[in-house]
Structure 1
């Protein structure tokens, strides 16, 4: 039985008929042949009931539509990869290949990560799973066989940045175990690179996995450990990001006093101006406008009436290319209006949040929309 296909389909709220329509639409857009609608109905039913194995051709389509790895799609545990270093000659050839990883190649790796980040931000993560899997495999290969520090450190930094992006994409796709493994990989790479900024960032993002699993207090401990790991170093933007993450986890953990203190620290630490990228930490997007949205989200979690004005201020200046973030912002406004019993306004933003979550294929945002909808 392909439980993986059924889990991935239902996580998106898709019926079997919806999945069939998506397969047909994918085929039209990519000019590829698929079976008739009647045959696809049989295939999907038999795939999910274990009467037919998913062929490689359809697996490619399903992975792109559902944002899952091949192992997740087929519902089987990921088998350990066999070692391909068979003998000293093969080992040395791999080491020699790793020595060719110079600054230009590391830049190419980073450019690929940036491209995947941009595509994720605008279109969602579900269609990028194969590209990201291959990208991480190339980086791991380069790092595993790099011998000397001048090759290992920049490669490890590139891997740490790519792994945190892959992990966040996995969270968005509802693949929490994959997200956890990617964060562990990012942490190992950051330690290899002796980069506390990257390590602290990976630790703090990993805390969200714990929070969404129902353990916000444990996630809060991890974020505070990340702050200790960073120490007095790091950029003000990263420190502000960590304070805001702490505030959000405090809100989830039911600690309003600690939440307000952390939120005040975030506001006091954020650098002024419109610039949102941290030159030392390109995966951080945070400026005063972004923080206003985050603050509104946190205040909404606390049931604070001030959340609405903060969120509308953020909506006025929101970057339209951050499609998934806009879905989250509208969901925040639903929560804030519900706290004030303003149901018409909440309904209007709920429709926008659902539309944007569907557009990006975000399982995480879809779940949040469903939970908010149940409160209407």
Structure 2
């Protein structure tokens, strides 16, 4: 009963006492009442031991603090609950409603995805679980009852974009099974939309789940399959992004020469100039500065002295609104300075990385920072 809460709490490295403090801080920020400190300590213990059910009010608070869904919080098995369709009249009503999905509604769906993307990169994913779950449910419902391709394709495309964002947020929150399911949904939606770029994007990001699960070789195969999926198509910026992803996976697969070739291919493909967003794939942000960070990350993992210059160059021009990316960049600098036995510099960037990761509630960054900290 309480294993979901316990697992989410420990994944963040929080004690029960820390969770109690976080609940109290949440209550103060949102001007809402919660039980006393002593009572909350009892509640948390009883929730985790299955002696007390988590009320809906506390469940809402815990989901936002821990970045998990309701089923993950309560330890229920992941399942899809289907609504019962009461006869043909109800079915036809849903189909008619879906057929009336207009371009303005699709635009509203995409604007909601964009808002969630902006909030995610600045504040982190943990507080967005409920909003993202509801957003995906609305998109899936619209797609499930849309009949004709002219109606399905724009909705499917919106769902593909939202699902990959939800999947990356789940990776950041340490919910890898949820991330995998979201990527599978994104791939199905991209096929429905007949959009190879969106399919390739979901495949390449899904490769990171495999890499972090200890299968970088399999992840690398998936990235290269994504490259074959678009062939000579796709925008130049997106092709550069795929090469950079390939380079990172090559590092983890122990293939340094392939990593350098992929980085060179990325540099040759990326369009010149400061513009970083791909108009054909709005989730892609990549320019020379971002690529310098990616190169620095790869070189740092390889123990190459050239990593430090690339990373400091990227740090100077990084958009301050990309808070989680800043945490990753400082972690990269820790890695690079450790390779040069520059421990004072490594400690300085470790402190900054930990602070930024705490601001966004990133379990993924926290794990990496803990591993780096153990080497100091």
TM tier, shorter chain? over 0.9
Instruction: Give the drift of 1:63.
Output: 0.1
Aligned length: 376
1:348 is matched with which residue? 348
1:201 is matched with which residue? 201
SS at match of 1:284: strand
2:336 is matched with which residue? 336
Matched, 1:277 2:272: no
> What TM-score do you get using the length of structure 1 for normalisation?
0.99
2:92 is matched with which residue? 92
Instruction: Give the drift of 1:53.
Output: 1.1
Matched, 1:113 2:113: yes
Tell me, in whole angstroms, the C-alpha distance in 2 between the residues paired with 1:106 and 1:83.
Answer: 23
1:37 is matched with which residue? 37
Tell me, in whole angstroms, the C-alpha distance in 2 between the residues paired with 1:266 and 1:242.
Answer: 8
2:148 is matched with which residue? 148
2:287 is matched with which residue? 287
Instruction: Give the drift of 1:149.
Output: 1.0
1:135 is matched with which residue? 135
Matched, 1:216 2:216: yes
1:22 is matched with which residue? 22
Instruction: Give the drift of 1:363.
Output: 0.1
SS at match of 1:355: helix
- Structure 2 spans left out of the alignment, 5+ residues: none
SS at match of 1:304: coil
> What TM-score do you get using the length of structure 2 for normalisation?
0.99
- Runs of at least 4 residues off by over 3 Å: none
Tell me, in whole angstroms, the C-alpha distance in 1 between the residues paired with 2:353 and 2:217.
Answer: 28
SS at match of 1:78: coil
Mapping for residues 1-376 of structure 1, pairs under 5 Å:
1-376=1-376
- Structure 1 spans left out of the alignment, 5+ residues: none
Instruction: Give the drift of 1:80.
Output: 2.9
Tell me, in whole angstroms, the C-alpha distance in 2 between the residues paired with 1:71 and 1:318.
Answer: 37
Tell me, in whole angstroms, the C-alpha distance in 2 between the residues paired with 1:275 and 1:41.
Answer: 50
Q: Which moved more, 1:144-153 or 1:80-89?
A: 80-89
Tell me, in whole angstroms, the C-alpha distance in 2 between the residues paired with 1:125 and 1:367.
Answer: 16
Tell me, in whole angstroms, the C-alpha distance in 2 between the residues paired with 1:19 and 1:297.
Answer: 33
